[in-house]
Structure formats: C-alpha cells, structure tokens
Amino acid sequence: MRVKLAEKYGFCAGVRIADRKVKKFASLGGADGKILGQVVHNERVVEEMEQLGVPTIDSLEEIGEGTVVFSAHGVPPSFHRQAQSRGLKILDTTCPFVYDIHEEADRAFEDGAHLVFIGEPEHREVIGYTRDRDPRAYHILKTIEEVEEVDWSRYPKVKVLYQTTLNSEDYEEVVKLIESRAPHASRADTICYATKENQDAAQVLCADPTVDLVLIIGGKQSANTRHLWEICRDLKPSHLIQGPQDLRPNWFESVGTVGITAGASTPDYVIDEVEEAILKWPAAAVGTHAEQERGEP
C-alpha cells in the first residue's frame, strides 16, 4: 500500500511549545512537578510525561507543594491566584492564542458586551474562559435551538468568540442567527489558524481520487482530532485511531492508497509509527480493540 499525508497535520505551534516546556522542565530535574489535566489531549504524550516524572492530576488539591503545570488549553485566572496563595510554583504552557482570546473576551466585557462562546461547555479551554465570570455575563452555545431559547433583546451589544478547535464554517448558521436576533453582535477572530489549516488540508486529502481510505490519528479526548474525523467521515471511509495498535485488517481490503492526517496534539513519532506499520502491511501487527471496528472514536 501507499501512504499520502495531508499537506498540514499534527502538532500546532502552541502544543509543540507546551510539549517542549514540560520536557525541558523534566530534564532540569523537575521531579516536583504535576500537570493539571492533560498537558495536551493525547494519551501517548500523557504517558511520556509520566515516564519523565511529571504526572497528571485532576485538581489543584492533589498537589501539596512544588510546581503545577498549567496545560496548553489554559485555566481560569483564579487558578493562578490559588496556586500562588498556596506557595506553588507555576509552569504555564497555555497557548499564546488562547491568552489572546481571554484578553479579547475581557475587552469586550469591559466595553459592555454580552459574551457568547461557540463551543463545548465541558471543554477545558471554554472552562478557562468562563469559570470566573458571572453566569449572567455569557452564554455557551452550539445549536440553532440553543440560540432560539435566548432573549436577545436583553443584550444591546454581543461579542461572539469561538472555541479555537472548532471549524467555524460548521457554526456559520448558528452565528448568523445570533446576528439576526442581536443587531449589534460582532465576531472575534478566535479560530486557531493551525487547526483551520489541518481541517482544510483534510478536506483536500479526502477529495483526492487516489486516496481510498483516511486515517485520523489523535487522542480520545482531543476535540480538534474528533472534528477532523467528522470532516473526513462524510467524504471518505475514515477511522480515528490512537496509533498502529488500532489498525484493523478488514479496513485495507482493496485499498491502494491510505491518506493520513492527525490532530494538533498528536506527536510526530506516533504518526511515523502508523505510516511505518501501513508500509509494512500485512506484516505489521494489528490491534484488537473491537470498539474501533466501525471507525468510531
């Protein structure tokens, strides 16, 4: 079989910086560090950090002393204050673009705007933007139905901000409806360009007539990886995998060329492992996880 890689895929600059910061911290003897939540949404990276002596924790209460690592997704500003008040050191790996959105939201709010975040309420990035705010100051929306439930007459000015990992085109109708209901609504340019480039490149890859099957490589909790899979599944037979162990023999029947893309939190070495396994097919070992048989994440 042949392999064709998307023009753009894998680690974005923000994730790459976060990965390097933690590895440098570990190499300098950072044995007292703990990462609050996955530093990036990829299980292999989490395992690698654990092996380097920087484990992942779920809450600040789990660290009594030493250094807390804030992930690339960012945290609510109050987390910085809490960590400082407890005497913890902070290694901040928040993506600079995420910080830009925090600042954009603050400016809009100070200017009297009601904030609307297009995204997942449970996503750590969105929690970082909203947790410290008065719930009356914002909405988190994703669907037409949710927009219709809001009384927009209450908000003379509205600012719309997107979760960075989303494909803004998927929510164009949602935002247009907000704009029709709130005449003084404006949008902030908050889509991560690296994520958008990966998504556009995935569409081009799927449009290639020589590509018979597309594999999307990434973590189970990675929102941007899931969005890549959602884009691809409607265009070509597609499967979301974490690594070569998830490959299934029946996927490759009558397949000549396999297209590969990967989420922004997927390390280069995992992509290389998948490519190597495909090029060695059928000699390569395959996984046994039945839940991946239909290509569902």
The confidence band for 240, taking pLDDT boundaries of 50, 70 and 90, is: very high
Give the pLDDT of residue 287: 46
Residue where a domain terminates, one of 94, 126, 149: 94
Note whether residue 290 is domain-resident: no
Q: Which residues does the annotation mark as catalytic?
A: 125
Give the pLDDT of residue 286: 46
Q: What is the CATH classification number for the domain harbouring 50?
A: 3.40.50.11270
| 3-class DSSP state of 75 | coil
Residue where a domain terminates, one of 50, 72, 94: 94
Strand partners, 57: 36
In this structure, are 139 and 87 located in the same domain? no
Note whether residue 297 is domain-resident: no
Give the pLDDT of residue 282: 65
In this structure, are 106 and 176 located in the same domain? yes
In whole angstroms, what is the distance from residue 39 CA to residue 297 CA?
A: 21
Give the pLDDT of residue 285: 42
Cβ–Cβ under 8 Å, residues 276 and 1: no
Note whether residue 288 is domain-resident: no
In this structure, are 208 and 275 located in the same domain? yes
Longest dimension (CA), the chain: 64
Give the pLDDT of residue 117: 97
Note whether residue 291 is domain-resident: no
Q: Domain range spanning residue 127?
A: 97-187
Note whether residue 67 is domain-resident: yes
Strands (E), 164-211: 185-187
Q: What is the CATH classification number for the domain harbouring 213?
A: 3.40.1010.20
Q: Tens digit of pLDDT for each residue in 91-101?
A: 999 988 899 99
In this structure, are 88 and 162 located in the same domain? no
Average confidence score pLDDT of the chain:
88
In whole angstroms, what is the distance from residue 210 CA to residue 256 CA?
A: 8
Note whether residue 141 is domain-resident: yes
- Segment 35-56 shows an average pLDDT of 85
Give the pLDDT of residue 159: 97
Burial of 290 (0-12, 13-18, 19+ CB in 10 A): exposed
- Segment 287-292 shows an average pLDDT of 40
Residue where a domain terminates, one of 94, 128, 154: 94
In this structure, are 18 and 85 located in the same domain? yes
Q: For the chain, what is the domain count?
A: 3
Full DSSP string of 268-283: HHHHHHHHHHHHTTTS
Give the pLDDT of residue 296: 47
Note whether residue 294 is domain-resident: no
Give the pLDDT of residue 289: 40
Full DSSP string of 109-147: HHTTPEEEEES-TTSHHHHHHHTTS-GGGEEEE-SHHHH
Note whether residue 295 is domain-resident: no
Least confident of 30-34, 65-69, 215-219: 30-34
Q: Tens digit of pLDDT for each residue in 261-273?
A: 999 889 889 999 9
Percent of the chain with pLDDT over 70: 93
User: Tokens in use for 137?
Assistant: 């100051």
Give the pLDDT of residue 10: 85
- Segment 203-232 shows an average pLDDT of 92
In this structure, are 155 and 135 located in the same domain? yes
Q: How many residues comprise the chain?
A: 297
User: Tokens in use for 171?
Assistant: 């929510």
Q: Tens digit of pLDDT for each residue in 9-28?
A: 988 878 888 888 999 999 88
The confidence band for 191, taking pLDDT boundaries of 50, 70 and 90, is: low
Whole-prediction pTM: 0.78
Give the pLDDT of residue 42: 80
